[in-house]
Structure 1
Amino acid sequence: MATRLLDFPPLVLRRGRELECGKAGRKGGRFGRVRASRGRIRCCCSDPVVPARRTKSAEKAEDMWRFDPQKVPPGPRVRVHATPSRPFSSPPSHFVSRQEKFSPRCTPRGSGPQSRDTPPKRDTGIANEKDWGINLLNEHVNESGTNEDGSAWYRESGEDLGDNGYRCRWTRMGGRSHDGSSEWKETWWEKSDWSGYKELGVEKSGRNAEGDSWWETWNEVLYQDEWSNLARIERSAQKQAKSGTENAGWYEKWWEKYDAKGWTEKGAHKYGRLNEQSWWEKWGEHYDGRGSVLKWTDKWAETELGTKWGDKWEEKFFAGIGSRQGETWHVSPSGERWWRTWGEEHFGNGKVHKYGKSTTGESWDIVVDEETCYEAEPHYGWADVVGDSTQLLSIQPRERPPGVFPNLDFGSIPSPPLEDSPDSPSQ
């Protein structure tokens, strides 16, 4: 029997042992390995009391629209399951992987660029330089043509110069089908100036014959922090897609920031909709480079019928002392509310205070002997991002004339704003 989307919630609460110690995490190893810490502080997986709500339909749902539990440290986990196997209904040929559809980013002069009628995928994070394959043309071109199937293409490149040694090298290309039902555009660039600022980036957009549309951008930046005088590297990605046949779409923004002394910040903001269901997710990680760590997440979802549910948690640790706390909640269409809160206090001496309660009358308040586990350092840090940023570091600035010094106005470097999102539903 077919199961309607509303027969199971997109958020499925899971127990806390999905991340076994030592398992690989996100692509690229950013959060994959588990390191042993000093003393009694080591990696383990807590198992707080949380409800489990699962259906066979949810188990079979595809990865495209679900939250990845491997991005979540110990604590209640929440997943989204509400999608077909592809992001939108369209021929499979439009949704093969980037590896299967890979073609050289800059083909030889005189031949047209290959069509890239492929939307981005959700929950893929920030790709590395080698995955984007940025290959700027060394000569200025401005050309266009028509392929045998009637589709048109264009390609152009150039260089923009400005004050303080600013230089931007760019390449832009695109095309459209013979009937105009599909089109695509890509722009790649590298920027630099005499202050040591360097930037590498890509922007892509398009739509296909089914009416699906998408846009994504990726960039990484190197500059000197004006307060600490330390070198910093920041990476970010934004992606969005919209269905042409359903009331469906998604948006996500990812960011990572690193400095040469180990300070690291990572986070993501996501939103999705599939017909009558909508969901949001936010998470962040902050490492100060001296052993202090803060991690948090907030996820919630709702349907047009008025059902709402979600989960959030936070953990703070330093030198084996810290806390975890969280809340899981649900609101029915009739307004009936259920919630459960939980918390842990780690004293650094092998004792852990665990407490919690819920609207069903359950409660607990105990002290147990338990080793404290948390990650004091990011698994993907400064040394890793430097090693993966060879193209960014190799950008050559304009030659500076003798006696000319850069204007170190770091405050003028803009940061792309986060897209506004609705607040979490009130409990």
Structure 2
Amino acid sequence: MTTGMAAARGFTTPFSVRLLRRADVALLSGKNGVVLEVRRKKRRLLAAGDLVKCCCSEIRGVCGSGKNAQKGEERLFEHNKRPTYRGRVPVMPFASPHSRFVSKQEKFFSRCTPRSSGPQSRDSPPKRDTGIANEKDWGISLLNENVNESGTNEDGSTWYRESGEDLGENGYRCRWTRMGGQSSDGTSEWKETWWEKSDWTGYKELGVEKSGRNAEGDSWWETWREVLHQDEWSNLARIERSAQKQAKSGTENAGWYENWWEKYDAKGWTEKGAHKYGRLNEQSWWEKWGEHYDGRGSVLKWTDKWAETELGTKWGDKWEEKFFAGIGSRQGETWHVSPSGERWSRTWGEEHFGNGYVMQDKHLCKVHKYGKSTTGESWDIVVDEETYYEAEPHYGWADVVGDSTQLLSIEPRERPPGVFPNLDFGSSPPPPREPSGSS
């Protein structure tokens, strides 16, 4: 997902958010007009999981000024997907944590990383299906002073490190650090940019962008962003996180792309999703999935996976479920198309009526199940069984607040007395944007 840095519209004053939870609460931050209280509870981390460019954005592209501050650049490469189609979809050889691609990168970085005063890069090819990393996993550490330095290592490889601060209207500030290195013959390089942003509306952003390539032509790019802002229509605090990752082989027609996003607000509204794409020579595959919780018990989940070969064989699987208060439905389809165009499919559905009763410590209800396939099979029955669905995300608002301490601790510029954020109210809500990983 790409979300632009904005002087967020529709803010009348810097916002104050208070979370009221049923369990014990703990004051997390009381600075800069933001008060967040979250319940103390055991957290479970979300298991979530980008286009290859050898060059990162120039720092001006990462940190703009004022209202024209950086808007997440949409990169339309191939979106990674690796659905579980009974082993028919291959594993990308160059992107495996134990593959020759990774080991060559590790050798490269140990060779080109300066031993003393130069930056010690943590950059490496991103791993597939790893979702959005937490702050502590990225280890963003910005320098407090302006730096512009470079050097050469004993083996002839070079490095550089820069840092600075950009200021703009509406109290906009972007602190950034950029570093990188290159082998002596120029065939291998890495770049890394970190930043934090804020303005007088209460907007805060933390981010990273990395890229690299090696002598064999393998290349990668990834970025991660975390944003705190006030929703201009609900006036609720919202935290949004996103990650894009990609890698491309230099020796095969192979590559993969992932786009992940998560959105949370202070009343439990949650949206999560991912778009993925991958290719290995003659085979390609895609995957999309999404989850939406309205914070009042209603939930929507869906998945769509498909793959194809250059010979014309295609296959896929998709399903969707909608529930509220035990009442809801599930439906799905599995399908296959042969090179000659012959199609097979099986569709199925469930209707859960929520009219439950207890029997032997189980809460049973009537469920209508139906389905058919192109081979003539069909069924249409009503059974008594338990209805199970997740009405709340296992990783929600309290969890993401607790894992966003560095984002919340960003210090904005001091606002002079009598100066207020610029207002820019829209006449209607902005149209929804499809994440850049869609296909």
Pair in the same fold by TM > 0.5: yes
Does the Cα contact within 8 Å between 1:190 and 1:395 map onto a contact in 2?
yes
Per-residue displacement from partner, 1:192-244 (whole Å, max 9, x unpaired)?
00000000000001101110011100000000111111100000000111100
Does the Cα contact within 8 Å between 1:325 and 1:341 map onto a contact in 2?
yes
**Higher RCO, Cα 8 Å, sep 6+:** 2
Letter in 2 for 1:388: D
Structure-2 change in CA distance of 1:157 and 1:92 (3 Å):
closer
How many Å separate the matches in 2 of 1:112 and 1:304? 47
Output aligned runs, 1:135-146, within 5 Å: 135-146=141-152
Aligned equivalent of 2:10: none
Structure-2 change in CA distance of 1:153 and 1:299 (3 Å):
same
How many Å separate the matches in 2 of 1:279 and 1:28? 30
1:30 aligns with 2:8: no
Does the Cα contact within 8 Å between 2:81 and 2:275 map onto a contact in 1?
no
1:148 aligns with 2:154: yes
Structure-2 change in CA distance of 1:127 and 1:166 (3 Å):
same
Aligned equivalent of 1:418: 435
Aligned equivalent of 2:400: 385
Runs of 5+ unmatched residues, structure 2: 1-42, 49-79, 356-364
Does the Cα contact within 8 Å between 2:203 and 2:230 map onto a contact in 1?
yes
Does the Cα contact within 8 Å between 1:117 and 1:208 map onto a contact in 2?
no
Aligned equivalent of 1:366: 381
| Number of residue pairs the alignment of both structures matches | 350
Runs of 5+ unmatched residues, structure 1: 1-26, 33-63, 69-76, 423-427
Structure-2 change in CA distance of 1:410 and 1:310 (3 Å):
farther
Letter in 1 for 2:369: K
Per-residue displacement from partner, 1:136-192 (whole Å, max 9, x unpaired)?
001110000001111000000000000010000000000100011100100000000
How many Å separate the matches in 1 of 2:206 and 2:425? 17
1:355 aligns with 2:370: yes
How many Å separate the matches in 2 of 1:365 and 1:154? 67
Output aligned runs, 1:249-398, within 5 Å: 249-349=255-355, 350-398=365-413
Does the Cα contact within 8 Å between 2:239 and 2:264 map onto a contact in 1?
yes
Letter in 1 for 2:436: E
Output aligned runs, 1:231-246, within 5 Å: 231-246=237-252
Query: What is the TM-score normalised by the length of structure 2?
Result: 0.74
Aligned equivalent of 2:236: 230
Q: CA RMSD in A?
A: 2.9
Structure-2 change in CA distance of 1:356 and 1:417 (3 Å):
closer
Letter in 2 for 1:297: T
CA shift for structure 1 position 95? 5.7
Output aligned runs, 1:86-105, within 5 Å: 86-87=94-95, 90=100, 92-94=102-104
How many Å separate the matches in 1 of 2:431 and 2:140? 23
How many Å separate the matches in 1 of 2:170 and 2:271? 29
Aligned equivalent of 1:121: 127
Does the Cα contact within 8 Å between 1:67 and 1:80 map onto a contact in 2?
no
Per-residue displacement from partner, 1:358-413 (whole Å, max 9, x unpaired)?
01111110000001100000000000000000000000000111111112448799
Per-residue displacement from partner, 1:83-113 (whole Å, max 9, x unpaired)?
255427745523669xxx99xx9x99x7111
How many Å separate the matches in 2 of 1:396 and 1:196? 10
Structure-2 change in CA distance of 1:267 and 1:415 (3 Å):
same
How many Å separate the matches in 2 of 1:177 and 1:116? 16
Q: After the TM superposition, list the runs of 4 or more consecutive aligned residues in structure 1 that deviate by more than 6 angstroms.
A: 77-80, 410-417
Query: What is the TM-score normalised by the length of structure 1?
Result: 0.76
Does the Cα contact within 8 Å between 1:251 and 1:270 map onto a contact in 2?
yes
Structure-2 change in CA distance of 1:415 and 1:343 (3 Å):
closer
Per-residue displacement from partner, 1:53-76 (whole Å, max 9, x unpaired)?
xxxxxxxxxxx97447xxxxxxxx
How many Å separate the matches in 1 of 2:234 and 2:285? 39
